Amino acid sequence: MPFPTTHASLAQALAARGYAEPTPVQAAVLSADAGDRDLVVSAQTGSGKTVAYGLAAAPTLLGDEPYFGRATAPLALVIAPTRELAVQVHKELSWLYADARARIVPCIGGMDVRREARALEGGCHIVVGTPGRLCDHLSRGRLDLSALRVVVLDEADEMLDLGFRDELETLLKQTPDTRRTLLFSATIPREIAALAKRYQRDALRIDTVSGTRQHADIEYRAVIAGRNDEEHAVVNVLRYFESPTAMVFCSTREMVRHMHGSLLERGFASVALSGELSQSERSRALESLRTGQARVCVATDVAARGLDLPDLGLVVHAALPTDSPTLLHRSGRTGRAGRKGTCVIIVPIARRRKAEQLLAGARVEAGWSGPPTPEEIRARDSARLLADPVLSEEVAPEDLALAQSLLEGRTAEEVAAALIRMHRARLPEPEEVTQPPTHIAEHRPRVATDRPRTPREERTREPYQRDVGPPREARPREPGIWYRMSIGRQDKADPKWLVPLICRLGGVTKRDIGAIRISDQETHFEITPAMSERFAACVVATDADEVQIERATGAPGAAPAPRKPYRAAARGAEGPGGASSRKRTAARPR
């Protein structure tokens, strides 16, 4: 549908930019119900909300006047959580209000504060800034908020996450009570609702998220990586999709440094973003991504807030997000403005349950698989080469002459083979990865039971219920492969901590372990035949020295040990095993 009626100067700017139809959030804020009211709007990142609140504020700022008058004290204040988002908002509002002759001043941390002070002293109509820098100008008497008609809080949930509550309240307390307050947030948690209730009057709640599937333009994939294979899985995912621009999210600055160095070493053109970079370093990194000099951005959650990169078709979660809103914020960097995107979550084999909870909390569905194999990557490389537009472009005369020279004394197959070798030489080599077992890699939705649910269960309904199947003792189990561990009763061996230790060192799960038999000097245990080869490879590659594990010749003759042996003796100072026992227990998992 066409744009609803808006201010003439803004309509002219929209037409010049080719805006033919409004996005859902833009249509909602321009509806008759919105009028001159305060708004609480939940909208996804990349949904066109900057233009939306620019259009919503126009009637209050301009009224029936075609242009802004002389610039004195600002009429509108837009607060954004990060520098990059504030720069983006300033750019968007500049073209939207260009025909209305608006003077827009940015006040952004890391920029020249003296230039901003001179711009504020000269007068303006709209101020766009970050909370810290705006409070600094306010405390020094450079920012006058007495004439404000509209205040916009962009990405309000992120501002609270970053700890800007005090700055927000300081700014809002200095604004007139007659102002309009437009609050935009991807999610509306309890803190945002309390902030809106405190500083807004009869606010209209607009939700453009709950009625549709979360991030409908994003394809989610969960890739299960074996122990010590997470980094290799990231490499193969980047090679498999070959997006023009990709973002890899890490949990810490140290992980960013390690991942960035690893990708550079493998031949990926990448940059790193973390909180320790200066603004000039961040600007250079982002510019290299926008110009195509770099293809991969490795970043932490905080460093990537507010980024809007063109052609960002792939987001990789190298580390699991802390919660579902963080998953949505990370993933929302792709699939913006109607473009398609892919989000890949690297799931360590031992943290699948956590990943399922994150996806369920975010209300998104993901396809589950193992990491892309080198064979699959090379097949995709071949398909991309055959579909490359350069093969169908018109040949220039000088290129044709060079091609004829190449064919002199060579066959067409030899020249084509050389072209393929040159093409492959520019691509990073894929990594050999271990594929998870079928019962782990395949996603099996849990089946709901037929039992009626109690009222309490209805209130805490989960998206999936526990898998229904035959009881564990009724399931047939084939004999496993026996292994020997250099820990026994003298070392206070106990299945309570032996099972997690075996899982950690061998890259298996508890269901892959069979019988455990503990003797005085050593422990024998079973591994399922399907996981035996993988277990042996992981144990060989493990550099831990707390235990020695090797293949046993067969099943031990000793009877199974009690489940909780020597519980009281474990607290003693000296016992069977003495100092050797204490040395080995120092590295046991808790």
> ∠ CA 232-315-376 to the nearest 5 degrees?
45
Work out the angle between the directed axes of helices 324-331 and 352-362 (0-180°, nearest 10): 70
- Beta-carbon contacts of 437 under 8 Å, excluding residues fewer than 6 positions away, are 512, 530, 531
Does the fold of domain 218-376 match that of domain 8-207? yes
Phi and psi at 387, nearest 5°, equal -95, 5
Lowest mean pLDDT among 219-223, 334-338, 354-358, 438-442: 438-442
Of 349, 333, 370, the residue nearest 249 (C-alpha): 333
Q: pLDDT tens digit string along 109-127? A: 878 899 999 999 999 999 9
Q: Which one, of 148, 140, 167, 128, lies nearest residue 61 by Cα?
A: 148
- Report whether pLDDT(471) > 50: no
- pLDDT confidence band for 470 (50 / 70 / 90): very low
Mean pLDDT in residue range 199-227: 79
C-beta separation of 130 from 171 below 8 A: no
Model pLDDT for residues 389-408, shown as the tens digit of each residue? 888 888 888 888 888 888 88
Count of all residues that appear for the chain in the document: 590
Query: Average model confidence (pLDDT) for the chain?
Result: 81
pLDDT at position 587 is 45
Whether 458 shows a pLDDT value over 90: the answer reads no
DSSP 242: -
Closest CA to 223 of 328, 341, 326, 359: 359
Nearest to 362 by CA among 399, 396, 320: 320
Region 406-412 average pLDDT: 87
| Exposure b/e, 221-251, CB count within 10 A at least 16 = b | bbbbbbbebbbbbbbbbbbbbebebbbbbbe
Per-residue pLDDT of 81-96, as tens digits, reads: 888 888 889 999 999 9
The string of DSSP codes covering 144-158 is --TT--EEEETTHHH
Q: Residue 57's closest CA among 186, 153, 170, 150?
A: 150
Sheet containing 341-348, strands listed edge to edge, beginning at the edge strand earlier in sequence: 270-273, 296-299, 245-249, 312-317, 341-348, 218-225, 366-369
Arch. (CATH architecture) of 478-568+577-585: 2-Layer Sandwich (3.30)
Give the residue extent of every domain in the chain.
8-207, 218-376, 478-568+577-585
pLDDT (0 to 100) of residue 160: 76
CATH code assigned to 8-207:
3.40.50.300
Mean pLDDT of 489-517: 84
Q: The dihedral of CA 327, 333, 335, 341: what is its sign? A: negative
- Residue 139 banded pLDDT, cuts 50, 70, 90: very high
**Bridge partners (DSSP) listed for residue 525:** 483, 516
Residue 208 has pLDDT above 80, yes or no: no
| Closest residue by Cα to residue 275 from 129, 109, 91, 160 | 109
Is the per-residue pLDDT at 143 higher than 90?
A: yes
**Buried (b) or exposed (e) across 540-556, using 16+ Cβ within 10 A?**
eebeeebbebeebeeeb
pLDDT in tens, 345-370: 999 988 889 999 999 988 888 999 99
Residues 318 and 248 sit within 8 Å (Cβ to Cβ): yes
Average pLDDT rounded to a whole number, residues 9-15: 89
pLDDT tens digit sequence for 155-164: 887 777 667 8
* Residue 284 CA to its chain's centroid (Å): 22
Across 274-280, average pLDDT: 76
Rounded to whole angstroms, how far apart are CA atoms 6 and 59? 8
- Range with the poorest average pLDDT among 254-258, 434-438, 561-565: 561-565
- At 63 the pLDDT is 85
The CATH architecture that domain 218-376 belongs to is: 3-Layer(aba) Sandwich (3.40)
**pLDDT attached to residue 185:** 82
Write out pLDDT tens, residues 513-544: 888 998 888 899 999 888 888 888 877 766 55
Q: How far from the centroid of its chain's Cα atoms is residue 132's Cα?
A: 26
Weakest mean pLDDT among 86-100, 134-148, 492-506? 492-506
Task: Answer yes or no: is pLDDT of 240 > 60.
Answer: yes
Range 38-50 average pLDDT: 81
Q: Using CA atoms, how far apart are residues 291 and 528, in angstroms rounded to an integer?
A: 52
Model confidence band, residue 501 (pLDDT cutoffs 50, 70, 90): confident
Query: What is the pLDDT at residue 575?
Result: 39
What is the share, in percent, of the chain residues with pLDDT greater than 90?
Answer: 29
